[in-house]
Chains A and B, each alone.
Chain A
Amino acid sequence: MRARIIAALLLAGVFACAPQVTNAQQKFDPHDFSGIWLRKGGDRAISNKPPALTAEGLARMMKNIPVRRRNGETPFAETPEKSNDPAFACNPKGFPRMLVDTAHDWHEVIQLPDRILQLWQEERRPREIWIDGRAVPSGENLDNLGPSWYGHSVGHWEGNTLVVQTVGLDDRAWIDVFGYPKSDVARVEERYRRADADTLEVQLTLFDPRYYTAPWVSDTKTFKREAREKVTFFGWYGLFSGLGELICAPMNANGVNKRGG
């Protein structure tokens, strides 16, 4: 009896001194990405080490005039109105630019039985990653479907990693703010992993043999879960409100910056 009391006291002592379990250390379901995520880490292009472009890829890149330059050979504009960045005129950023660019902050993941929805605050854009067992479009089907700004995405689980393939992308959307191009044969593979309760990581690879001499493998991009109160403004929780309006509307553009956002 005495031993039990001492044991109980010791145990109580242990619990009293135990460090607080942080959110990040909480148990979590690695197959559940639900929540609002804020981009925290990783380059704002696929990576800052792109593979060499093919001759066709370089010729295409020479037509793009971004406001930021990484490649010493290609043109860039000193001011936005001299740039032909299609996003400045409210053309869709498309995929993968919407994912890699750090210009915007948030997206929300809604997890459904047949798909994973990414709701991007910028452009108010839903993206569907289908996990219903469908095939990645190819051949005649892909040709008839045609290009789309956000492509056609199919995901499957490999253990705790969600692997997503996206094909059928519109080649008029740049990969990033630096004007790197992608062709209409581009395929993007994403590998998502929920590293802890509050951290989502993704690594992408661009397969585009028409424009690049090798696959372009990204660094790790990190997203952190946002606490509810940080995405609540004036009583309104969520990514979409007048306060967070990030639809690019041409009528919002002004003379200095063509951007309508």
Chain B
Amino acid sequence: MKKLLVFFLFATPLFAHHGRGATYDMKKQVTLKGVITEVSWRNPHVAIYMDVKDPDGKVLNWAFENSNVSTLARQGYNRNTLRAGQEITAVVNPSAQGTPRGLVVKVILADGKVVMSRESGANPVD
């Protein structure tokens, strides 16, 4: 795998926080409806894994990343905000590589409540 050896000496854009380290298609949004399989509530990357059924009924395990543990804590979130077995809808910017990985836009719980929303500033992934 070739690495891109390109130097960007101007100021980094917003999304190079602790290094999101992943490439996403920021122009696209994908809505994932499914069941959480794993909550990895750890610094510096909180990752949520979920099983998503596609139209053919095939199940694919997706994962989306969020802000870090400390920032989420200041918004009042903790490792029990989302739990394995919980049904959620996650809106994400998908990986540009076409793999089932994404950057969170927001999470909608079964009762319609929106949590960990990046678009509202509560989950600032930069």
Q: What sequence of 0s and 1s flags, for each residue 20-58 of chain B, a beta carbon within 8 Å of any chain A beta carbon? A: 000000000000000000000100000000000000000
B75 close to A (CB within 8 Å): no
B86 close to A (CB within 8 Å): no
CA distance A145 to B79 in the complex (A): 8
Q: What sequence of 0s and 1s flags, for each residue 40-82 of chain B, a beta carbon within 8 Å of any chain A beta carbon? A: 0100000000000000000000000000000000000011100
Contacts of A143 in B (CB 8 A): 80
Contacts of B80 in A (CB 8 A): 143-144
Q: List B residues at the A interface (Cβ < 8 Å).
A: 41, 78-80
CA distance A143 to B41 in the complex (A): 13
A41 close to B (CB within 8 Å): no
CA distance A145 to B81 in the complex (A): 11
CA distance A59 to B103 in the complex (A): 38
Main secondary structure of the interface of B (DSSP, over half): loop
CA distance A143 to B79 in the complex (A): 9
A146 close to B (CB within 8 Å): yes
Main secondary structure of the interface of A (DSSP, over half): helix
- How distant is A90 from chain B, measured CB to nearest CB, in Å? 15
CA distance A146 to B77 in the complex (A): 12
Interface size on A, residues (CB 8 A): 4
With A144-B80, A146-B79 already in contact, 5 other A-B pairs whose C-beta atoms are closer than 8 Å: A143-B80, A144-B78, A144-B79, A145-B78, A146-B41
- How distant is A241 from chain B, measured CB to nearest CB, in Å? 27
CA distance A146 to B79 in the complex (A): 7
Q: Which residue of chain B lies nearest to A145 when distances are taken between CB atoms in the complex?
A: B78
Question: Can you list 8 contacts pairing A with B, beta carbon distance less than 8 Å?
Answer: A143-B80, A144-B78, A144-B79, A144-B80, A145-B78, A146-B41, A146-B78, A146-B79
- How distant is B109 from chain A, measured CB to nearest CB, in Å? 17
CA distance A143 to B39 in the complex (A): 14
Tell me the chain A residues, 101-160 only, with Cβ under 8 Å from chain B: 143-146
Q: Which residue of chain A lies nearest to B41 when distances are taken between CB atoms in the complex?
A: A146
CA distance A144 to B72 in the complex (A): 13
Contacts of B78 in A (CB 8 A): 144-146
Q: Which residue of chain B lies nearest to A170 when distances are taken between CB atoms in the complex?
A: B42
- How distant is B60 from chain A, measured CB to nearest CB, in Å? 28
Give the top 6 A-B pairs by smallest Cβ distance, nearest first: A144-B78, A146-B79, A144-B80, A143-B80, A146-B41, A146-B78
CA distance A144 to B80 in the complex (A): 6
Tell me the chain A residues, 41-75 only, with Cβ under 8 Å from chain B: none
Contacts of B79 in A (CB 8 A): 144, 146
- How distant is A148 from chain B, measured CB to nearest CB, in Å? 10
CA distance A145 to B80 in the complex (A): 9
